[in-house]
Structure 1
Amino acid sequence: MKADSETLSIGAAADRFGIATHVLRYWEDEGLVTPVRDASGYRRYGPGDLVRIAVILRNQLAGMTLDQIGALLDGDRPGRRSVLEEHLRSIDDRERELARSRAMTEHALRCEAHDIVACPRFARMVDDVVHGAAWSTDGAE
């Protein structure tokens, strides 16, 4: 086992990432992190565990579910490729929606119309939704 100076307690690991200790315990229950136990039975998080925690946090911010993150972290998981490909499609959809939102926001900043919804160009930006197109990126109406 690594020396304690090379590992962090659950409290220190949680503090480092700004999360609660129960979150780390839950992720352990889900198999996302596997800290070693010291002689007293306390969890010790090594460098690899810290990388896994960072991967989990970064990908949660990107919209991944814990199941998807589990697939990302587990190279032997059945269906891993399809889970990750679906997540990439989701990212592409969100990037398109963010670009649309950016264009609308930039136009609103420059537009001289007092009532932005009365601006013809602004209205054209949402014309597809006004006329019944699915409004969400997942195809739900």
Structure 2
Amino acid sequence: MKSSDAEMSIGEIAQRFGLATHVLRHWESMGLLSPTRVTASRRRYGSGDLYRVAVILRAKEAGFGLDDIREMFAAQDPAGRTAVLRRHRAELAARIAAAQASLELIDCALECDHEDIAECPHFQAMVTARISPDRVPHVHA
């Protein structure tokens, strides 16, 4: 007998999303999922659980950690969810800026006419710009 969306086993929902069953159990232990229990404590997942798994997966694709996802689920009001989203956005923007700086450094190296990138004045200027005065080791005489 085939289960409906309202009555899926852990194996069926795991297969549907391409997950291992232990992942769903872990998410349950973190409070992200709470499937109903039937005889012999077997988990049964309904349509709300399907939606919640999809939200978790989408949030993970967006770079959210499980703790942040749990915090958003637990938020009692939109302001709580907004605070998590703003924090994640700031972290993501910082990672994007770091990746952009890395890309610029690589592009500089690839476009350089010098045989050794370490000799390129433009590369040296980019590296020097990363050294702030408080990072330069102080030499005692």
Tell me the TM-score normalised to structure 2 length.
0.69
Give deviations 1:97-124, integer Å, cap 9, x for gaps.
1111222222333323332233222233
* Secondary structure at 1:56 match in 2: helix
Q: Which residue in 1 is equivalent to 2:138?
A: none
Paired with 1:12 and 1:133, the residues of 2 have a C-alpha distance of: 57
The residue identity in structure 2 corresponding to 1:26 is H
C-alpha change, 1:119 and 1:14, in structure 2 (3 Å) is farther
* Secondary structure at 2:44 match in 1: strand
**Runs of 5+ consecutive residues of structure 1 not aligned to the other structure:** 135-141
Q: Which residue in 1 is equivalent to 2:110?
A: 109
8 A contact 1:71–1:84 mirrored in 2? no
8 A contact 2:72–2:80 mirrored in 1? no
Residues 55-64 or 102-111, more deviating: 55-64
- Count of residue pairs brought into register by the alignment: 132
Residue 45 of structure 1: how far off its partner (Å): 3.0
Tell me the TM-score normalised to structure 1 length.
0.69
Q: Which residue in 1 is equivalent to 2:4?
A: 5
8 A contact 1:4–1:44 mirrored in 2? no
What CA RMSD, in Å, does the superposition of the two structures yield over aligned residues?
A: 3.0
Correspondence list, 1:46-57, <5 A: 46-57=46-57
**Identical-residue share of aligned pairs (%):** 42
Residue 53 of structure 1: how far off its partner (Å): 2.5
Paired with 1:108 and 1:124, the residues of 2 have a C-alpha distance of: 12
Q: Which residue in 1 is equivalent to 2:123?
A: 122
Give deviations 1:57-106, integer Å, cap 9, x for gaps.
34335443322111223341684443332222111111111111222222
Paired with 1:112 and 1:16, the residues of 2 have a C-alpha distance of: 53
Give deviations 1:38-71, integer Å, cap 9, x for gaps.
4554223344323332333343354433221112
C-alpha change, 1:62 and 1:118, in structure 2 (3 Å) is farther
* Secondary structure at 1:76 match in 2: coil
Which structure's CA Rg is the greater one? 2
Q: Which residue in 2 is equivalent to 1:65?
A: 65
C-alpha change, 1:44 and 1:117, in structure 2 (3 Å) is farther
Q: Which residue in 2 is equivalent to 1:19?
A: 19
8 A contact 1:60–1:66 mirrored in 2? yes
C-alpha change, 1:111 and 1:8, in structure 2 (3 Å) is farther
